[in-house]
Amino acid sequence: MKGYRFHVVSSDAFGQEKLDTMRALGADLEVIESRDGKITPELINKMIDRAAEIASEPNAYFTNQLSNPDIIDGFEKMGQEIIEQIGRPIGVLRLCRHCQVPDGSFSSTEDSGPRHARRCS
Protein backbone atom coordinates (compact mmCIF):
# COMPACT_ATOMS: atom_id res chain seq x y z
CA MET A 1 0.00 0.00 0.00
CA LYS A 2 1.16 3.48 -0.81
CA GLY A 3 -0.46 5.06 2.23
CA TYR A 4 -2.23 7.86 0.38
CA ARG A 5 -4.71 9.81 2.46
CA PHE A 6 -8.24 9.57 1.02
CA HIS A 7 -10.70 12.26 2.08
CA VAL A 8 -14.29 11.61 1.00
CA VAL A 9 -17.09 14.15 1.08
CA SER A 10 -20.47 12.42 1.25
CA SER A 11 -23.82 12.88 2.96
CA ASP A 12 -26.14 11.24 5.44
CA ALA A 13 -28.63 11.03 2.54
CA PHE A 14 -26.62 8.09 1.20
CA GLY A 15 -26.67 4.55 2.55
CA GLN A 16 -25.13 4.06 5.97
CA GLU A 17 -23.57 0.82 4.77
CA LYS A 18 -21.70 2.70 2.02
CA LEU A 19 -20.47 5.31 4.49
CA ASP A 20 -19.39 2.60 6.93
CA THR A 21 -17.58 0.72 4.15
CA MET A 22 -15.61 3.83 3.15
CA ARG A 23 -14.58 4.34 6.78
CA ALA A 24 -13.64 0.67 7.14
CA LEU A 25 -11.40 0.97 4.07
CA GLY A 26 -9.57 3.86 5.71
CA ALA A 27 -11.23 6.91 4.20
CA ASP A 28 -11.30 10.17 6.10
CA LEU A 29 -15.06 10.57 5.68
CA GLU A 30 -16.70 13.97 5.95
CA VAL A 31 -20.49 13.72 6.06
CA ILE A 32 -22.54 16.74 4.98
CA GLU A 33 -25.94 16.81 6.67
CA SER A 34 -28.96 16.68 4.41
CA ARG A 35 -32.40 18.09 4.96
CA ASP A 36 -34.43 15.12 6.25
CA GLY A 37 -32.19 12.59 4.48
CA LYS A 38 -33.14 13.96 1.07
CA ILE A 39 -30.86 14.27 -1.94
CA THR A 40 -31.32 17.75 -3.38
CA PRO A 41 -29.44 19.94 -5.85
CA GLU A 42 -28.48 22.13 -2.88
CA LEU A 43 -26.94 19.15 -1.07
CA ILE A 44 -24.98 18.05 -4.15
CA ASN A 45 -23.67 21.60 -4.60
CA LYS A 46 -22.60 21.75 -0.93
CA MET A 47 -20.69 18.51 -1.37
CA ILE A 48 -19.01 19.73 -4.56
CA ASP A 49 -18.09 23.07 -2.97
CA ARG A 50 -16.58 21.33 0.06
CA ALA A 51 -14.57 18.94 -2.12
CA ALA A 52 -13.27 21.88 -4.17
CA GLU A 53 -12.29 23.65 -0.93
CA ILE A 54 -10.34 20.60 0.21
CA ALA A 55 -8.70 20.36 -3.23
CA SER A 56 -7.33 23.88 -2.87
CA GLU A 57 -5.10 22.63 -0.05
CA PRO A 58 -1.50 21.60 -0.85
CA ASN A 59 -1.02 18.03 -2.10
CA ALA A 60 -4.74 17.52 -2.69
CA TYR A 61 -6.60 16.49 -5.83
CA PHE A 62 -10.31 16.68 -6.60
CA THR A 63 -11.44 13.80 -8.83
CA ASN A 64 -14.68 15.66 -9.66
CA GLN A 65 -16.51 12.49 -10.61
CA LEU A 66 -19.65 14.37 -11.68
CA SER A 67 -17.70 16.03 -14.52
CA ASN A 68 -15.91 12.86 -15.59
CA PRO A 69 -16.99 11.81 -19.11
CA ASP A 70 -15.86 8.24 -18.36
CA ILE A 71 -18.63 7.92 -15.76
CA ILE A 72 -21.07 7.20 -18.61
CA ASP A 73 -19.30 3.87 -19.23
CA GLY A 74 -19.94 2.91 -15.61
CA PHE A 75 -23.60 3.87 -15.83
CA GLU A 76 -23.95 1.88 -19.05
CA LYS A 77 -22.57 -1.24 -17.35
CA MET A 78 -24.81 -0.69 -14.34
CA GLY A 79 -27.82 -0.30 -16.67
CA GLN A 80 -27.01 -3.59 -18.37
CA GLU A 81 -26.83 -5.30 -14.97
CA ILE A 82 -30.24 -3.88 -14.03
CA ILE A 83 -31.77 -5.10 -17.29
CA GLU A 84 -30.29 -8.57 -16.71
CA GLN A 85 -31.68 -8.66 -13.17
CA ILE A 86 -35.22 -7.58 -14.06
CA GLY A 87 -35.26 -9.82 -17.13
CA ARG A 88 -36.84 -7.37 -19.56
CA PRO A 89 -35.86 -4.23 -21.43
CA ILE A 90 -36.56 -0.82 -19.91
CA GLY A 91 -38.32 1.72 -22.12
CA VAL A 92 -37.66 4.69 -19.86
CA LEU A 93 -36.35 5.04 -16.32
CA ARG A 94 -38.56 7.71 -14.84
CA LEU A 95 -36.96 10.57 -12.94
CA CYS A 96 -38.57 12.81 -10.40
CA ARG A 97 -39.46 16.01 -12.25
CA HIS A 98 -38.41 18.03 -9.21
CA CYS A 99 -34.99 16.64 -8.28
CA GLN A 100 -34.09 14.27 -11.16
CA VAL A 101 -33.65 11.28 -8.82
CA PRO A 102 -35.01 7.99 -10.20
CA ASP A 103 -38.45 7.51 -8.69
CA GLY A 104 -38.16 3.72 -8.68
CA SER A 105 -40.62 3.11 -11.49
CA PHE A 106 -40.15 2.02 -15.06
CA SER A 107 -42.27 3.15 -17.97
CA SER A 108 -42.55 2.66 -21.70
CA THR A 109 -43.34 6.37 -22.15
CA GLU A 110 -41.01 9.34 -21.89
CA ASP A 111 -42.73 11.40 -19.22
CA SER A 112 -41.09 12.49 -15.99
CA GLY A 113 -41.96 10.56 -12.91
CA PRO A 114 -44.23 11.90 -10.20
CA ARG A 115 -42.92 13.58 -7.10
CA HIS A 116 -41.62 10.81 -4.85
CA ALA A 117 -42.22 11.08 -1.14
CA ARG A 118 -39.14 9.26 0.13
CA ARG A 119 -36.51 11.84 -0.89
CA CYS A 120 -38.02 14.88 -2.56
CA SER A 121 -40.05 17.51 -0.78
Could you state, in order of their start, the residue ranges of all structural domains in the chain? 7-67, 69-121
Mean pLDDT, rounded, for 93-97:
62
pTM: 0.59
Phi/psi of residue 26, each to 5°? 100, 5
Q: Residue 97 has what pLDDT?
A: 59
29 in helix, strand or coil? strand
32 closest CA partner among 59, 9, 66, 1 = 9
Q: State how far the alpha carbon of 83 is from the alpha carbons of 40, 46, 91, in Å.
A: 27, 33, 11
Cα separation of 105 and 77, whole Å?
19
Q: Mean pLDDT across the chain, nearest whole number?
A: 79
Quick check: 50 pLDDT over 70?
A: yes
Q: What is the reported pLDDT for 29?
A: 95
- Confidence band (pLDDT; 50, 70, 90) for 96? low
